Structures are given as structure tokens and as C-alpha cells.
Structure 1
Amino acid sequence: MIVNERVVSYINSLDRGNSDICNIIEKEAIEDQVPIIRKEMGNLLKVLLKLKQPKSILEVGTAVGYSSILMSENMPVDCKIVTIENYDKRIPIARNNIKRAGKEDCIQLIEGDAMEVLKELEGPFDFIFMDAAKGQYINYLPEVLRLMPHGGLLISDNILQEGELVESRYVVTRRDRTIHTRIREYVYELTHNDELVTSIVPIGDGITLSVKN
């Protein structure tokens, strides 16, 4: 945890909750040990959606559809979401959850490898949420930038990896060194790419907010 646990507990104690269907899906995901966004991340997404008022949203990494549904409840009525998922076992669950939430008209789930799907998309997407395989973020970035208009917002989740990102690669367990290196490369690119203005925010498991110039 990168933020004091007592601070997080206090922040979450003020949470007003979400819709019944989101609460149900969240409970099911936790029981099934499916990783979904944390409460504080969900609340930040709500604020960013209200500020940005996007016309189109792209999500890379659907999981069981929780964050897509949460975003759909807080976006403008004429906004659409395209979300990409490659894990066969989660795709039918996500589709069913989207149906349960009554969001089939505004959420389009595309099955397939994110890299291949991104190449086929035309965009533009003025609000992009990256929450997929962290080691692939750096590979997705060129296509993501292509799909973003000027002023578009890119949110990348799980950037600080429970604080491990700040450690030397030799301190990190051998099996995690590749992802550690790739996320560091990604964060460096976000913060040094002239096309972007980026802030690293230590909320949840760490996120980056990047706006395209």
C-alpha cells in the first residue's frame, strides 16, 4: 500500500457508495478474487468524468465490466464506451454484467488481444482508461496516442505497483523484474513525451493522468 492504511480507511469511510448493480458486481468480484479498481480510484474516475464530459471512452482491460459500468453511470448521456478484453473466462461474465446493468446500448465489449484491437480502432477517444497487463502499457502507448485528440485524457492504473516501482530492480523479486522495468519505461515515456503533460498520483495503487497537447 502506497498511502497510509488509516488514511485510506478514513477516505473510504466517507464513500457514498455506488448503484446497486455496481455494489453487487464489486462484491462478486471480490469473492471470486477478480482484481477491480479500488474505491478511491472509482471516486476519482467519477470526478474526472464530470470534469472532462467525454464524447467517447476507451477502456483497455474490461475484467468483469465493473469499471465500464461505473463509468457509464457517470458519463454524459450521449457518450459511448469501447472496452477491450482478452481473457476468455472473464468475457462472458463481463457481457452478462453489462446486460444486468442495462448498459448494452452504450458499452461495446470487443474480444481480442489489445494490441491488435487498438490497431483496428479509428477513434478518437477523448477519455482512455488503461487497466490491462501492466507490462504491455509501453507497447500500447503509440496506438493510444494515435487515438487521442488534442486535450484527450489518458488514465493509467496500477502504476506504482504497491510501491515496488521506486525500488531498485535488484531488490524486486526476479520474476517481477521484467514488469518492473517495463512500467518504469512507460512512466518515463509519459513524463518525457512532448505530446503529453503527465502527473503521477499516489492514489490506490498509483495512477498517471496524461493530457495530450
Structure 2
Amino acid sequence: MIVEERLVTYLHSLEQENSEILEEIEQAALRDSVPIIRKEMQSFLKVLLAIKRPTRILEVGTAVGFSALLMSEYAPEECTITTIENYEKRIPIARENFKRAGKEQKITLIEGDAMEVLTELSGPYDFIFMDAAKGQYIAYLPEVLRILEPDGVLVSDNVLQDGNIIESRFAVERRDRTIHSRMREYLYTLKHHPDLETSIIPLGDGTAVSVKRNKGR
């Protein structure tokens, strides 16, 4: 927990319910221990979409399709969403959820390894949501920046690892040390990249919001 638990509980109590389909998917995901974006991240995404009003969204990491569907409800009507997933057991569930919500025409799910898929995409996208394997964020970044248009927004979720990011790598369990070091490298790169302006926010499990600089201005 990054923010005091009582404060998080209070903020959750202020939230309005999502659409019926999103509430059903969220409850099923929680029941089946499928990771989806937290309540505070849901709210933050809605605000970012209202500000940016993107027309082409890319999501890296579909899971069961919850966040793609949420974005489809809060992005402009003409916006299209492409989402990438490699976990075979979740792909048919996501497709079924898109069908149930009537969003098959708005959301395109690409099956396969994200790194391989990213190299084949031409973009450009004006909003990219990164919510896949945390240890691979740093590897994805060059391709993500290639297809992110100038003034485009990159949102990276779960970047603070429940606060463990501030710990020494030797204080982290051995199995988590690679992810820990790669995420630290990723955050440093976001903050020092010449093409990005980035804010790292202790919201949910930590999120980074980056804007690609428009060098033509």
C-alpha cells in the first residue's frame, strides 16, 4: 500500500458505479484473482481520456478486457482501441466480454507476444496504456515511443510495486529482483528521456504519465 489504507477506502467510497457490464467483469475478475486496474486508476483514466480525447488508443496487456472496455466508454465515439494479449486462457474471455458489451467493432484484440506485435505496428497512436509484464516495460519503450505521436500520452500502470521500488534490491525477495531493477531503470528513463515529460504519481500501485514532446513547436 503506497497511500494510507483508510484514505484509499474513503476515496473508494466516493466513486460512482461503472456501467453494468464493467461492474460484472470487475466482480468476476476479483473472484478469479485476475489483476485489473484499481478503482483510483479507473477514475484517473477517465479524467485523462476526457482531457486528451484520443482517437487511437493502444493498450499493452488486455487481461480480460476490463480496462479496454472502460476506455471505450470514456473515449470519444470515433476512437478506436487496439489491445495486445499473450495469455491464451484470458484471450477468449476478453473477446467474449467485448462481444457482450457490443464493442467488437471499436476494440481490436491482437494475440501474441507484445514485443513482437509492437515491432509490427505502424501507429501512430495518441494514447498508449501500458499494463503488461512489469519487467518488460523498459524493453517495450523504444517501440512504444516510435508509434506514439507527438503530444501523445503514455500511461504506465503499477510502476511503484506497492512501495517496494524504494527498497534496496537486496531487501526485495530474490524472485522479484529482476523486475525491481528493470522498473527502476524504466522510471529513470522516463524521467530523463529527451522526448518525454513525465510525472510519477503514487496512485493505486503507482502510475507514470508521460507526454511525448512535439519538437515541431
State yes or no: 1:46 paired with 2:46.
Answer: yes
Give the secondary-structure state (helix, strand or coil) at the position aligned to 1:81: strand
For 1:96, the equivalent position in structure 2 comes to 96
Q: Does residue 209 in structure 1 map to residue 200 in structure 2?
A: no
Query: 1:37-84 CA distances to partner (integer Å, 9 max, x unpaired)?
Result: 001100000000000000100000000000000000000000000000
Give the paired residue count. Answer: 213
The alignment partner of 2:211 has SS state of strand
Q: TM-score, normalised by structure 1?
A: 1.00
Q: Between the two proteins, what is the percent identity of the paired residues? A: 65
Instruction: Give runs of aligned pairs for residues 113-124 of structure 1, distance below 5 A.
Output: 113-124=113-124
Q: 1:21-170, aligned counterparts within 5 Å?
A: 21-170=21-170
TM-score (norm 2): 0.98
When the two chains are superposed, the root-mean-square deviation of aligned CA atoms in Å is: 0.4
Q: Which amino acid aligns with 1:5?
A: E
What code does the residue aligned with 2:195 have? E
- Which residue matches 2:173? 173
Separation in 2, partners of 1:186, 1:68: 24
Counterparts in 2 of 1:191-202, with a 5 A limit?
191-202=191-202
- Is there any run of 5+ residues in structure 1 with no aligned partner, and where? none
Question: Equivalent residue of 2:177, what SS?
Answer: helix
Unaligned runs of 5+ in 2: none
Partner of 1:3: 3
CA distance in 2, matches of 1:91, 1:130: 17
Instruction: Give, as a single letter, the amino acid of the residue that structure 1 aligns with 2:4.
Output: N
In the TM superposition, what is the alpha-carbon distance from 1:17 to its structure 2 partner?
A: 1.2
Q: Please report how far the alpha carbon of residue 122 of structure 1 lies from its aligned counterpart in structure 2 after TM superposition.
A: 0.7
Q: 3-state SS of the aligned residue for 1:149?
A: strand
**Counterparts of 2:183 and 2:162, CA distance in 1:** 13
| Divergent runs of 4+, >2 A | none
> Can you list the C-alpha shifts for 1:187-208, whole angstroms capped at 9, x where unaligned?
0000000100000000000000
Tell me the CA shift for residue 108 of structure 1: 0.2
* Matched residue type, 2:193: N
What is the deviation of 1:173?
Answer: 0.7
Q: Which amino acid aligns with 2:132?
A: A
Deviation at 1:91, TM superposition (A): 0.2
Tell me what 2:18 maps to: 18
Paired AA for residue 146 in structure 1? R
